[in-house]
Amino acid sequence: MLSYALRRLLLLVPVFFAISAIVFLIIHLVPGDPLDSLARIGSSPEQKQAIAARYGLDKPLLEQYFLWLGRLLQGDLGTAIVLRRPVADLVAQSLPYSLALGGLALLFSSVFGILAGLVAAIYKETRIDQGIMAGILFGSTLPSFWLGLLLILIFAVQLGWFPVSGARNWTALVLPVLTIGLGGTALVARVTRTAMLETAQKDFVLLLHAKGLPALRIQLRHVLRHALMPVVTILGLRIGWILGGAVTVEFVFARPGLGTLLIRGLNQHDYPVVQACLLMLAMAVMLGTLIGDLAQAAMDPRVRSALQ
C-alpha cells in the first residue's frame, strides 16, 4: 500500500511537467499582451521594449518557459506584472479562502449526498425514493452561477439571513457552500443510490439474508460499504473540480479566492498570476484523483492484491 502510494506520487512528476508546459503556454493563446495594460497610452515602442525586457517578455517563448520552470522548481512563482507583488504571496492569501469553500462544499455534498442516496435506496420505488430523486434531478440541472444568484436573492436580499457577498465571517460561507455543494450532493446521491441497488442484486447479499442478518444491517454494513467505493472515486475527482468550479461562484459572491485571483489575472494579462492559479487548480485535480485511487485501494482488498 505504501509503496503503491509512493509509486503513484512518482508518476505525478512527469504529469507535473506536462501540465506546467500547458499552463505556461495556454495564456499566450489569449489575444492581447500585458504590455498594453502596463505601458501608458501613447508610450513609444522603445518604452514598451524596455518594459518587456524588464519582465523577460522579449525573450523567445521556449527560453521564457525554462526560466519560469527553473524558478518554479525553486518555489518562486514570479512577480505579478500588474499587481507588482510576489505571486506566491497572492496565492497564499487566496488559497485558504478557496480551500475553506471547496472543503466545506465537498463535505456538504458527501454527507448529504450519501445520506440521500442511502435513504432513497432503502426505500426504493416508494414515495420517499421518488421525492428524493425528483429533488436530485432538480438540483443537478441548476447551473451554479444561477443557483448562487437565486440563493442571494432569497436568503440574503429578501430574508437577510446571510451577507450578500464578501468573506468577513463564517456566515458569508453558507450561501457559496450551498451553491457549490448542492450540485455535488445530487451527483453523490445518484451514484450512491445506483451503486446500492446494484449491489443489493449480488449473490452475496442474498446469502447474507439467508444467514438471517437483519435487513437494515445488511444495507448499512455490507451494501453501503460496497456502494461507497464508486462514490469515493467520484469525490476524489471532485476535489479538483470543486476548486475549479468555485471560480464562477467566488465571482458571483465577490469572495476572495483562487478563482477571483485567476479572473483578475486573466483580465489584466498578468501571466505569472494566471500561470500560478492554473497550476494550483491542475495540481488539485491531480491530487484529488490520487486520493480517490488510494482510498479505493484502502477500501477494497481486491484492488490491494492487484497492486502487489
Partner 1 sequence: MALLAVRDLSIDIAGIKPLDGIGFAVDKGEILGIVGESGSGKSLTALTVMGLLPLIGGRVARGSIRFDGTELTTLPEPDFRRLRGRRIAFITQNPMTSLDPVMRVGAQIDQVSRLHLGLDAKAAQARSIALMERLRLPSAATVYHHYPHQLSGGMKQRIVIAMALAADPDLIIADEPTTALDVTIQAQIVQLLVELVRDRGVALILITHDMGVVAQACDRVVVLYAGRVAESHGVQAIFAAPRHPYTQALIRCIPRDGMAPGSLAGIPGSVPSVANYPAGCRFHPRCDRAGAPCAATVPPLEHLPSGAEVACHFAETREVANA
Q: What is the contact surface with partner 1 in residues (CB under 8 A)?
A: 202-204, 206-214, 222, 225-226, 299-302, 305
Backbone φ and ψ for 81, nearest 5 degrees, come out as -70, -45
Taking the least distance from each CB to partner 1, the nearer of 29 and 210 is 210
Minimum distance of partner 1 from residue 124's CB (angstroms): 11
Residue number with CB closer to partner 1 (44 or 201):
201
Set of cell numbers at residue 282: 491542475
* Residue 226 three-state SS: helix
- CA 308 to CA 265: how far, in whole Å? 45
Q: How far is the CB of 116 from partner 1 (least distance, A)?
A: 23
| CA 299 – CA 290 distance, rounded (Å) | 14
Closest contact distance (angstroms) between CB of 209 and partner 1 is 6
Q: How far is the CB of 208 from partner 1 (least distance, A)?
A: 7
Identify which of 251, 252, 220, 247 has the alpha carbon closest to the alpha carbon of residue 114. 220
Q: Is residue 287 within 8 Å of residue 5, measured between CB atoms?
A: no
Angstrom distance (rounded) from CA 172 to CA 76: 32
Min CB(215)–partner 1 separation in Å: 8
Nearer to partner 1, 76 or 300 (CB): 300
Cβ proximity to partner 1: between 3 and 308 the closer is 308
State the cell numbers at 115. Answer: 445520506
Q: Under DSSP, is residue 300 helix (H, G, I), strand (E, B) or coil? A: coil
CB nearer partner 1, residue 208 or residue 249: 208
Minimum CB separation from partner 1 for residue 200, in Å? 9
Helices (H), 74-86: none
- DSSP strands (E only) in the chain: none
Q: Select 8 or 222, whichever has its Cβ closest to partner 1.
A: 222
Give the list of residues 6+ apart from residue 234 with CB closer than 8 angstroms, or none.
187, 188, 191, 292
